[in-house]
A and B are shown apart, each in its own frame.
Chain A
Amino acid sequence: SYVLTQPPSVSVAPGQTARITCGGNNIGSKRVHWYQQKPGQAPVLVVYDDADRPSGIPERFSGSNSGNAATLNISRVEAGDEADYYCQVWDNSGDHVVFGGGTKLTVL
């Protein structure tokens, strides 16, 4: 079964850039999607297809995917960005959704 690995936590100062990684075997051959989940709220899609943003998501959120790692970048981090972030792919070998374990972003 396909496995996605995320760091449990990332900390960044306001105004800086947060980088959250998502590792997987040859993940560059898949499309990666990212969700933001604030405390007590449902997840929200913030990046899909590696690097595209849904309507209403700030340009500060961007993504990349190559080789064995995908990355979610959040530039000019704000206090309101503090949340858990999950990466997700479709495992076509088993026909199922796979989530990463999640990364807690702390804004210092």
Chain B
Amino acid sequence: QLQLQESGPGLVKPSETLSLTCTVSGGSISSRGYYWGWIRQPPGKGLEWIGSIYYSGSPYYKPSLRSRVTMSADTSKNQFSLNLTSVTAADTALYYCARLRRQWLGDYYYYYYYMDVWGTGTTVTVSS
């Protein structure tokens, strides 16, 4: 079955760039109808969506993070990645990657998304 695995440095210095990769197995990131995303959870707090991307591009980012976030997808490696620049202690969190299913809401004429498969998460601490 589909599995997602996050990887990347567990410790990042303030003002530097956080870079994470999600490797997908048991399925292709090029599958139609699915986006791929990142969600984080600060210690003791709730879930925060960071952004999502299609295999061919077309990213969506959380508005408050848009100036610092870049996501990309590599179909040859079946991976997608997150870059978050100028990190501070507030970016310390458990980071999850997930598959998002895209559905059409015909009554209102737009696509909507939800996370149907999650990775196990990776902890990132921002500290000098």
A and B interact = yes
Quick check: A31 and B112 within 8 Å, CB to CB?
yes
User: In this complex, what residue of A is CB-closest to B61?
Assistant: A96
The B-contacting residues of A in range 64-108, CB under 8 angstroms, are 84, 86, 88-90, 92, 94-102
Among A1, A29, A37, A84, contact of B63 (Cβ-Cβ < 8 Å) = A1
Question: In the complex, what residues of B have CB within 8 A of residue A30's CB?
Answer: 105, 112
Q: Which residues of A contact B101 (CB under 8 A)?
A: 48
Chain A count of residues within 8 A CB distance of the other chain: 29
Q: Is B55 an interface residue (CB 8 A)?
A: no
Chain A nearest Cβ from B71, distance in angstroms: 13
Q: Are B49 and A97 in contact (CB under 8 A)?
A: yes
| Cβ-defined contact, A88 with B114, below 8 A | yes
What is the minimal beta-carbon distance from B96 to any residue of chain A, in angstroms? 6
Binding site for B on A (CB under 8 A): 1, 29-31, 33, 35, 37, 42-45, 48-49, 54, 84, 86, 88-90, 92, 94-102
A-B residue pairs, 5 tightest by C-beta: A90-B112, A97-B49, A33-B114, A102-B46, A42-B118
